[in-house]
Amino acid sequence: MLSSVPRVYPLLGLFGGYLVVLFFNPIRLALRDGLRCLMRFKRIWLTFVLLGFAYWLFQFVTFTPIHGASDLDFSQVTAPGSWEWPPFVEIWRDVPLPTLEGVAGIFDNATTTYPLSVLAAILLAINWRGLHGALFGALRKRYGFWGYLIYLVLLISVIASLLKPIAFWRLPEWGGVMSARGLQISATIDAVAFIFEYLFGVYIQVYLITVCLAWIKGLSFGEEDLFRFAMRRFSYVLEWAGIVVIVSTLIVRAPLLLAYFRNVPDVLDYLPLERFVMSALIIIFCSVQISLVLHNETLGAAVRAHREFIRRNLFRFGWFVLIAAMHFFFLTACDAIVRGAVADRVVGVILWKVFYVCVRGFVTGWLLASWVCLFRQCETARANQETWIKY
């Protein structure tokens, strides 16, 4: 009996339920303000679109072979009804982990920065808009002697980021009898470059949070001043980001790197669990990053403030996580279903990925702006504690 029901009715019911949740939840004002902020500063979502598109383009060029003009036949996408659409039961296992990582990214680093991290490394090296000098000065004044060591680690990771394209594209050609050695070198470069790629993503997040804060407080700003201000705030976030880098390296990156040098059985089998642990850790300490950005305080003070934030606002925060998870779940499920249906139709892959990257970038930017608005609404006792860093 149910098989005779047109498919459009369940979809309409699903969409109606989505609208009910979206417009009648306890944090709807924060979601509304996040959308208003997004409309005022379109750079928030366009930044995620740019980074997402660059990463997809890199993957497409690297892993999708195009044998000729026949592969770019637009007739491939004129009859999607004839495609073999996989049912949800076949793809659901691929959905929960990316959904969890998407939610965690709102509180940490919401996008993959490679290959634009290479351009960022070049710009940082040439002191574009004074960012290199601002970073060095902030580290020196914030951490003293330890600031020089942190700067050295950053410098090494910047160099590794510049070498990473060579490791990807040239070492396979140089392989020959040294192929195993080449894989070890490229894996080491990739592991070290991850530090800068992650920290670059965190800096972007800090910058976008400061843009949202400027909108909330009705401030005007010059672009170069905001870049340097975000860099100074980034120096406070660096303590927490360093912990995330260390934990991620120990439980995710180090086992993968070690597998290139010695036999580590079933190393990839543990990767989903490791990714789950990292995402859960970030969600558990969700407000530490934004607290450091807004209040330029010590890490200990941010952790104590986070504990108080969760104690007072667990219900509202739970609703935010639920709504964010709902959006990333739908996006991830749609992506898996369409990719399964498109298969090897190159034009279909291109059109879908362009659409998907734009929608995901918009949703990610909206959720990030909404998170900043929600956090500010919940922080009534500390609303006026932001101070301009003097150096």
Q: Per-residue pLDDT tens for 108-135?
A: 998 889 989 999 999 998 988 888 888 8
Contacts of 144 (CB under 8 A, 6+ apart): none
In the structure, what pLDDT confidence band is assigned to residue 391 with cuts at 50, 70 and 90? very low
**pLDDT score of 46 more than 50:** yes
- Rounded CA gap, 154 and 150, in Å? 6
**pLDDT score of 55 more than 50:** yes
Largest Cα separation within the chain, whole Å, is 73
The stretch 312-327 carries a mean pLDDT of: 96
What pLDDT does 384 receive? 47
- Rounded CA gap, 22 and 20, in Å? 5
**pLDDT score of 67 more than 70:** no
**Residue 194: left if φ>0, alpha if ψ -120 to 50, beta else—which one?**
alpha
**pLDDT score of 262 more than 50:** yes
CA distances in angstroms from 13 to 17, 25, 91, 302, listed in the order given: 6, 18, 22, 42
In the structure, what pLDDT confidence band is assigned to residue 342 with cuts at 50, 70 and 90? confident
User: pTM for this one?
Assistant: 0.90
Structure tokens at 19: 């609208």
Mean pLDDT across the chain, nearest whole number? 86
CA distances in angstroms from 93 to 121, 200, 252, 274, listed in the order given: 36, 31, 21, 16
Range in 76-80, 113-117, 143-147 the model is least confident about: 76-80
Range in 87-91, 189-193, 282-286 the model is least confident about: 87-91
Backbone angles phi, psi at 159, to 5 degrees: -60, -40
Q: What is the DSSP letter of 249?
A: I
203-220 residue pLDDT tens:
999 999 999 998 988 877
What pLDDT does 265 receive? 82
Tell the burial category of 26 from Cβ atoms under 10 Å away from its Cβ (0-12, 13-18, 19+).
exposed
**pLDDT score of 386 more than 50:** no
Tell the burial category of 359 from Cβ atoms under 10 Å away from its Cβ (0-12, 13-18, 19+).
middle
In the structure, what pLDDT confidence band is assigned to residue 171 with cuts at 50, 70 and 90? low
What pLDDT does 245 receive? 94
Structure tokens at 364: 């990610």
How many CB atoms neighbour CB 46 within 10 A? 15
Contacts of 328 (CB under 8 A, 6+ apart): 98, 99, 102, 103, 363
The stretch 264-281 carries a mean pLDDT of: 89
The stretch 150-165 carries a mean pLDDT of: 92
What pLDDT does 173 receive? 58
- Rounded CA gap, 134 and 142, in Å? 12
The stretch 9-36 carries a mean pLDDT of: 88
**pLDDT score of 170 more than 90:** no
- Rounded CA gap, 282 and 312, in Å? 19
Tell the burial category of 153 from Cβ atoms under 10 Å away from its Cβ (0-12, 13-18, 19+).
middle
More confident position, 357 or 111: 357
